[in-house]
Structure 1
Amino acid sequence: MVSKVTAALLVCSALALAACNTVRGAAADVNSAANCAENTINTGYCK
């Protein structure tokens, strides 16, 4: 029983860490798109 609980905790921890990386990556993509849109508005092209 203890090994099953330990395994479940390890799996949940791994999934939580993977989700954090995914959210950070999505935030970086949104930030990049916002910067490109702002550059296009100000200069006429995306750098």
Structure 2
Amino acid sequence: MHIAIISDKRNKDGKPFIIHHGSDPAMEEDHLMAGKIAGHYRWKK
């Protein structure tokens, strides 16, 4: 399982970057569609 957080930054096509722990340290990358998305979760403010 892999966990990522959606960033406020976007690529040239308008898709958001993700912040994830693919390597150490965590990185912000253009990998939103790189794998299967198993679920979406939100925290209420």
TM over 0.5: no
Shorter-normalised TM-score: what interval?
Answer: under 0.3
Q: What is the TM-score of this pair, normalised by structure 2? A: 0.17
Higher helix share: 1
Q: What is the TM-score of this pair, normalised by structure 1? A: 0.17
Q: Which one scores higher on RCO, CA 8 angstroms, separation ≥ 6? A: 2
